[in-house]
Amino acid sequence: MSGPSSFSGAALLSDLNDFIGPSQACVLPPVSRLPSEKNTTAAPPAGGNTGMIAIEGQVDAPPTPAPPTAPADDLPLEKKVEITLADCLACSGCVTSAEAVLVNSQSTTEVLRLVETNHRLAQEGKTSEIRPICVTIAPQIAASFAARYQLASPAEARGRLAHAIRRLFGLPADVDPAEATPARIWVFDEREARRVGLAEAAAEFLHRFCAARGGPAALQGCSTVLAASVAGLPARSASGPARRAAAAAPASAGPILASACPGWTCYAEKHARAALYVPMLATTSSATRVAGALARRAVAADATARQAGRPFHVSVQMCYDKKLEAARRSGGLGDEAAPTDGGLDVDCVLTAGELDAAIRAATGPLDGLPSEQLDSLLASLGPSDCPSHPASPSNLASPASATPGSPTPGPDEDLLSDMEEDAGAGGLLEYLLRAAAYELFGLVLPFGAVAHLRRAAPTPGSRASLPLAPFTPGQTARLETRVGRNADTRDFVLLLVADADDPVEREVLTFGTAYGFRNIQNVARRVTRPARPGAGSGWDFVEMMACPGACLNGAGQLRPVDPDKPDMSPEEAALLPPPSPEAARALLRLVAELYGADAGRTPATDSDALQALTARTHAAWLAEMAWVGRAYGALFGQDAIPYGPAARAALHVRYNVIEAPKDSDPVSLASVEW
């Protein structure tokens, strides 16, 4: 494994290092034994190295000693074994994958090799064999580049990256642009895909939450297209206080655990208690995979690519474990079929560091390049031509007790771009909390509520709350955050007094965060080992991320630079010792500010201002739901809804319990401590 210096400096805050090397107990044998001919065998070579492990795509693998299991005279012939990413994904011997396993299989070298192949095929006129290249850029990546090159905003970084990527992958390095036309390269913003992925995740949460708490009767709030995911659930007889009590009761199956982080999901699948963890995992694909599915659709719909082969999707991510996620093949839920081509949503994942090194080598530093317009993943999505769709503005329900002149969706209201309030993990917790509060209890979380509470309670053990403005007279509600042992573990609790005649404040929703493997392990213990028999964990949803500080702190993000050597190449920087914790923290703060995690609105607390802000947020949410309805109609058919059959087939992933082979003796993951 490469040394720690090859990781992002932000990943090495303090003395913590959550990255675990491979092969604590690799269950795949390092030697492949061939059938011997007439029992004639070869003795092991001198030095004791009887075999080699080679990562797919690696030319010369370093020798790996393997203890002999039989006398030399009985050893058959041997050959080098190739271990692919799919093998690593199915292996139960490692907790998480390391850079040494992944970089050789997915790197800029592989993409540049395809660029050369496409150029040769174009010269030969074999256009049907060309694989068009499309690239999606994660929002955390844009913030990392903006911080590294002192750009004004992530938007500026995305524009410069679009130019650099088209130059890098448009023609082979040895071809003069004046003598050949560069190939068409599509560059997309992953945030478009995130909107679809978040809506699907919210619909899944509502479906699973209501299935455990009385079916459709659990929906006590306002209905949008997301509520359609609950319509098919069997109803249970309950009304009034009994129905509210059922909604507040913990589910016996445990909380829903986020699955967007591949480091966490691999841990969950391979743990000794995987049979308990896996059923709790959310199945909605991460934004990375959703972007892959949408990118292929967008490229296939482009006239310039209709005669070409299957698009090759490159995703620029902040985490090395995303390379492992890319190796997981698409699946579906229930009876829905997997994609007909059986291919991958993502063909190659590049980290910020890898892309930066390639851009510097090909075009020079990013801050010296011009900006270009990005392509759109949903360019064909226009005004809704499906007036009967459940999410059309005329069918979006407003609270029954809303005041006259209640807001309607406005054309300039874009919820996600107007409210980048998440902590760098992709906005999943914030979106699900907002959707659940609205659909289940008719409550609107004002702009910036979650970001405000994060800032108001930054230290371990602290608390802060924000009053809400319910539409129903007599109700009072507030959102409270409670910080655990560190800032990476905190709860967001929705408290509601539902009736003036019953003035008891009840905790109706509890969402938690656990960033970093130490915190993940503590949460995992709690959800599988309740404090008392029959008690729940107390959570309805937990956002689990392997990196401390969430995805802005990913190991693939750009490292701090030496102020005395700002033009140092990534190769030279990799030879230096890890940056100081102070420098890493300073860079992470700058990345967070640029990303927008600390730039959300501070909601007003006085009644009139809170009402006004709630009304504007309500309008934005209704507009977002109308957009979701149009998006699903355009992507999956006129009557498609979130968490419907078409969406479950295209936007979900199966997770499995991976058991260690009985003839191996791997390290028990239950015994691994962070």
User: What's at 455, amino acid-wise?
Assistant: R
Mean pLDDT of the chain: 73
Q: pLDDT grade, residue 598 (50/70/90)?
A: very low
Pairing of strands 541-545, 506-515: parallel
3-state SS track over 148-173? HCCCCCHHHHHHHHHHHHHHHHHCCC
H helix or E strand, kind and range, residue 492: strand 489-497
Asked if the 82-191+252-385+419-563+571-627 domain carries CATH number 3.40.50.1780, the reply is: yes
CA dist 154 and 472 (Å) reads: 40
CA dist 588 and 582 (Å) reads: 10
Residue 313 dihedral angles phi and psi, to the nearest 5°? -100, 125
In angstroms, the Cα distances linking 72 to 31, 76, 272 are 14, 9, 36
pLDDT of residue 70: 47
Pairing of strands 32-33, 78-79: antiparallel
Pairing of strands 256-257, 541-545: parallel
Kindly report, residue by residue over 538-566, the tens digit of the pLDDT: 899 999 998 888 888 888 888 887 655 65
Per the CB < 8 A criterion, the answer to whether 453 and 481 are in contact is: yes
419 pLDDT more than 80: no
Kindly report, residue by residue over 270-322, the tens digit of the pLDDT: 888 888 899 999 999 999 999 998 998 888 888 777 777 889 999 999 988 88
Per the CB < 8 A criterion, the answer to whether 379 and 346 are in contact is: no
Q: Which neighbouring-strand residues pair with 82?
A: 54
CB-CB neighbours of 136 under 10 Å: 29
pLDDT of residue 483: 95
Candidates 598, 577, 576, 602; CA nearest to 588 is: 598
Domain-wise residue ranges, the chain: 82-191+252-385+419-563+571-627
**Helical spans, DSSP H, in 501-641:** 517-528, 570-574, 581-595, 607-636
CB-CB neighbours of 421 under 10 Å: 24
Q: Which neighbouring-strand residues pair with 493?
A: 480, 510
Collapsing DSSP to helix, strand or coil, 593 comes out as helix
Q: pLDDT grade, residue 580 (50/70/90)?
A: confident
Per the CB < 8 A criterion, the answer to whether 94 and 668 are in contact is: no
Lookup: tokens for 249: 């009761």
CB-CB neighbours of 25 under 10 Å: 15
Residue 127 dihedral angles phi and psi, to the nearest 5°? -65, -30
- Helix count (H) and strand count (E) of the chain? 20, 14
Kindly report, residue by residue over 147-162, the tens digit of the pLDDT: 999 998 899 999 999 9
pLDDT of residue 310: 87
